[in-house]
Structure formats: C-alpha cells, structure tokens
C-alpha cells in the first residue's frame, strides 16, 4: 500500500504558546498512526525544533518545513537552506505551494532547483501542483498541471521519485470553502499518476503518494480519501483545530 499521509500546513499561524498546545494536543490524542499512515506537521520555521522534539516518541509523526532556499549556504539573508532543516530534525520540505508561486513568484526552474536541494540534503519533498479557477473553467487544467510536473520534476531519475510526494491543490479551493468533489479529486489525481507513468513507467507511478489539498475538513475527508488515487491530504485551516485534524487523520485509508 502507498504511504497515506495527513499533512498539516499551518502556514503563517500560531504563536509559540498556541503551537505548543496544538502539538501537545496531537501527541496526547489516541490517533492510530500505524502501517502506511503518517502525520506530517508543516509548522513555521520557529517551531520546527519544538515539533521535532515533542513528537520524537510518537509513532508515524514527521516534520516538514514549508519552504527552503535552493542553495546550501551563503550570503542570502533571511533564507533557510535544506541542510539547515535536515540538521534540526525535519523530514519533508513543501515545494511549490500555490502561495509561493502566486505571492512570491516562484517559477518552475526555481522549484526544480529547490527540489534538488531538498533531495541532496536527504529530505523528502512534498511537491505542490494545481490550477487556478480560470484554468479550471477553461477546461485546460490537465495540460496546466502536466506542465508544472514536467518543468519542475521530470529532470529527476526514476529512483528519486520515491522521495517525492505530490500534493494536488486546486487553487480555487484553497481557503475559499469550496472543495473539489471526490470525483473531481480522483479524476485529476489519476491523471497526475498517468503523467508520471508516461515519464517513469506504471510501476514507479503506482508507488507515488498523491495528496489532495483544498479545503479538506473532517466532514469531507473520508469521502475524498476513499478515492483510489487519493492518498491523504495537505490540510490548511482545519489542521489548526485539534478535533478537526484528529478526525481527518482517522479518515486515512
């Protein structure tokens, strides 16, 4: 079975006391994270060491950074490198979230370089892709997402794809309260798997974990996660609510 992941993307939220309460709450919950299941906490940079320390003895919990720079070190004030993140106990780095693409103008070539930096530091990447509303309405979402994958991932060798988790996030459903239907999520995630299969073969593509990200909440997680090509979710706002995120974790296959 492919790895099934409930990933919490806190974005730029929580003070230190709030972060501590939320992490400790998750650790103390009776959450069955066994077998192929994982819980990934993508917390802001100041709380990465806290999250790593508080979850160290909790089976199936992993820590993610929300971003990294593409260079290992140097005179880049304000940036954080993948080797730095690896040294404080990070397991994953989110690459190419739609907010990084849209607000900060991160282009495909930069995202390819960040992916390389992540893998070179021995970390796994959660690579985000997805279309805005105008692309969905024009019916060209498949070509749009395929282009994102091709330009930022297809320089990788087949064996490196095992260190990549794909997160499909329809931008029109992030923080809007709108959610792609379970059928829409499955349709796109099956398409993404077919694109990977075209480049790397069906056997390799079949092992890649593909998450859905777009207003996942306790009320819809089970239906979305039940789809054959949906391997969990990249969860935004609902991950800041202990009971909501606990229910989402329990909805994993």
Active site residue ranges: 97, 169
Pairing of strands 232-235, 61-65: unpaired
Give the C-alpha separation, 183 to 18, whole Å: 36
Give the span between the Cα atoms of 136 and 196, in whole angstroms: 21
Q: What are the angstrom distances between the C-alpha of 123 and each of 62, 181, 193? A: 11, 32, 22
Helices (H), 121-181: 133-138, 141-153
Give dist(CA 185, CA 140) in Å, integer: 15
Q: If you write DSSP's letter for every residue of 64-96 in order, what string do you get?
A: EES--BSSSSSS-TT--BHHHHHHTT--EEEE-
Count of CB atoms within 10 A of residue 127's CB? 24
Strand partners, 47: none
Beta-strand pair 124-129/92-95: parallel
The first and second tokens of residue 56, run together, are 């160290």
Radius of gyration of the chain (CA): 17
H helix and E strand count, the chain: 11, 8
């Amino acid at each position: 079975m492919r790895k099934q992941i409930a990933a919490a993307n806190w974005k730029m939220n929580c003070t230190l006391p709030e972060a501590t309460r939320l992490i400790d709450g998750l650790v103390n919950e009776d959450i069955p994270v066994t077998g192929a299941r994982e819980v990934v906490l993508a917390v802001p940079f100041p709380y990465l060491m806290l999250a790593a320390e508080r979850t160290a003895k909790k089976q199936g919990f992993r820590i993610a950074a929300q971003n990294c720079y593409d260079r290992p070190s140097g005179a880049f004030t304000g940036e954080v490198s993948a080797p730095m993140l690896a040294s404080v106990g990070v397991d994953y780095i989110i690459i190419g979230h739609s907010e990084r693409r849209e607000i900060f103008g991160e282009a495909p070539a930069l995202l390819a370089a960040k992916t390389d930096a992540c893998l070179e530091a021995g970390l796994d990447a959660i690579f985000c892709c997805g279309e805005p509303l105008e692309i969905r309405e024009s019916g060209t979402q498949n070509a749009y997402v395929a282009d994102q994958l091709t330009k930022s991932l297809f320089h990788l060798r087949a064996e490196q794809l095992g260190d990549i988790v794909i997160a499909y996030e329809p931008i029109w459903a992030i923080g809007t309260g709108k959610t792609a239907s379970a059928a829409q999520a499955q349709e796109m995630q099956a398409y993404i798997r077919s694109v990977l299969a075209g480049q790397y073969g069906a056997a390799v593509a079949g092992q890649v974990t593909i998450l859905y990200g777009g207003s996942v909440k306790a009320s819809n997680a089970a239906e979305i996660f039940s789809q054959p090509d949906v391997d969990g979710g990249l969860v935004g706002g609902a991950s800041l609510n202990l009971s909501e995120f606990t229910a989402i974790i329990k909805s994993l296959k």
